[in-house]
Each structure stands twice: as C-alpha cells, then as structure tokens.
Amino acid sequence: MNERIFRAKAPLRISFCGGGTDVSPYPEERGGLVLSSTVDKFAYASLRPRTDDRLRIRSLDYDVVANYHRAELEYDGELDLVKAVARHFRMPVGADLFIHSDAPPGSGLGSSSTMCVALVGVFGEWLKVPMTSYEIAELTFRIEREELKLAGGRQDQYAAAFGGFNYIEFLENVTVVNPLRIRPELRHELEYNLLLCYTGQTRLSANIVESQTRSYQEGRVPVVRALDRMKALTQEMKTALLTGDLPTFGKLLHVAWVEKKQLDEKVSSSRIDNLYGLARRHGALGGKILGAGGGGYLLAYVPFTKKHQVARVLTEAGGTVVPFTFTEDGLATWSVAG
C-alpha cells in the first residue's frame, strides 16, 4: 500500500484595526469590522495515518509528545484543540500528528486559531472532506468558541482560511469577507514602512477578552464607545489604504491604539508603553500591540528614513525586530508519498 503523509499550513495575520468588535455579543448587537492581512509566518500540521487506534501528537511549540486512543479523547487542558478537531472528524483509524508554528502561542498573531485552521485542513485533506474557506473558518470558530468554550473573537479563523488583505464584516447571522485589491507597489511600500517587534512576553488572550466582554455586557460607556470608535477607524483605515494615503494610515494606527487601551487595563503594560513610547519618540507615526494585548508583537508604522533608528532603540530596550512580508494565500493542504 502506498502510504501518504497529509500536510497543511495556514498563515498568521496582522490585524490593523477592529479587533474586539469581532467578539460576541458586540458583532451580533452592533456589527463588527476588522481590517487585517496575513503574513509569511505559518502554523503547520502533518498527519500520517496509522494501522491501529492510537493518536500520537507531537507539538513542537509546547515541547510535548502525547499518546491517546482515538475513541478516548477527553478534554483536560492538554492539546485540547487537537483533540476537538480529531473528535469532530471521527477518525476511522489512528494517526501520527506533528504540529508547529512560526510564532509562539500568545504572540498576538492569531497563532491558536490559525493552528486550528491548519488542523481542520489536514484532517479534511486526509478524509477527503470538501470545504469552502467560509466553512473551514466557521468550523474552526465553532470548535474553539462553542466546543472548547475558549474566549475570543472570530477574525483569526477567517484571516487564516482566506489569506491576503481583508476587510471583514461581522454581522448578527453572517460573516462577510471582502478581499482588498491592493496595488503591488502600495503593498511593498506599506511593508517597507512597517516594523514588527517581539516584546519578549506572551500572554493569555482569553483573560483579556473575557474582561472586555464583561465590561461591554455591563454597558460600561468607555468600553462601548471605544469599540464603536474602533469600528469607525477601521473604515477610515481601509479608505486610507485603498487610496494610497499611507501616512494617514500610520497615524490612524496610533488613534486606534489609544482607543484599544480603553477596552481593558491589561491591554497594555509598562513594558509595552515604554517600547511604544520609544518608537514614537524616534519617528513612528503610530502603532499597536497585535491581538488582545498584554504582550506579543508590537507593530509600528515608521517612515523608512527613520525605521533603522526605531529598530535600534527597540532592540536596545530588549525587543526583537522580526522581518516579514505580506502573503496572499490562505490555508493550503497537500499530500506526499510516505
């Protein structure tokens, strides 16, 4: 028998504006908007079917090797994401699964949801389950938010499944992905003026999201107002991007970051404030912490003549500047001879 190995990779994303408006119940009640793009950092999954009933998982990110019986996958806090995807697809036999990501969990690049998209992709490739990008994103969302009860929004699943620059609308009963046609020279120029810096700290985004959600449900005016304002800023940033007004795009990043910090006190920290302050003092027009906040990656828009200066001071302050490029493709799956 010719054995096959099944593989999947899904891109991580940079969210420019609107994160938080995709977290229920805000989008159902007021409608959410997110502007994002995928980048050349990925979550990977490889699967080799077995002849027995064992599910053997090796996670490079968590440095874990675990063995389970495919019919006895209990949620216990260890590799639950993998177990939930395996349970959904009702594995006919066991499998060896190897997973890893280019960014650590809690980095703010959507690594957990992106890994879930890659897992859905690799199981779908193995079991020949046809799914559209919308179906993959929705299934991933249901596994994370409904099956596992993990707090969070729904932008990461759609970004990873679709890929590219997207303006995503989150409505009461539907999510609409609007791919943006960005001219190549404009995409390159934006890339040239953006700086990505790892702060050296990760965080558990679910805690921040849960706190933000409580505040919104309690009707706290600063939080509701900030979410509404971020939604409006997302529209403004989309216009600036499509018309090629990148300096305005950079300045709006700063305005959006000020609003985002209103969502919860844990969104920022003294270290984040220090790094962002350094970037601003040395020429950054704007920036933000990616994801829910509290750590992970800092994104800054810096005119290219000052980019090297900002990179230097952030590095001296303990940050790590990470090169990246934008990508156009979403989830990819394939198989090779074993």
Catalytic positions: 156
Q: Are 325 and 196 in contact (CB under 8 A)?
A: no
Structure-token pair, residue 62: 């968590």
The encoded tokens of residue 270 equal 């003294």
| 170 touches 32 (CB < 8 A) | yes
Q: Copy the structure tokens of residue 257.
A: 């970051």
Query: Could you write out the DSSP letters of every residue in 88-154?
Result: HHT-SS-EEEEEEESS-TTSSS-HHHHHHHHHHHHHHHHHT----HHHHHHHHHIIIIIIS-----S
Per the rule left: phi > 0, alpha: psi between -120 and 50, beta: everything else, 285 is alpha
| Distance of alpha carbon 126 from alpha carbon 108, whole angstroms | 30
Terminal CA-CA length for the chain: 10
- Beta bridge partner(s), residue 69: 54
Closest Cα partner for 284 from 276, 273, 272? 276
Amino acid in position 157: Q
The three-class DSSP label of residue 72 is: coil
Closest Cα partner for 272 from 253, 252, 289, 284?
289
Please answer whether residues 257 and 201 qualify as being in contact, where contact means their C-beta atoms are separated by less than 8 angstroms. no
Place of tokens 């934008």: 326
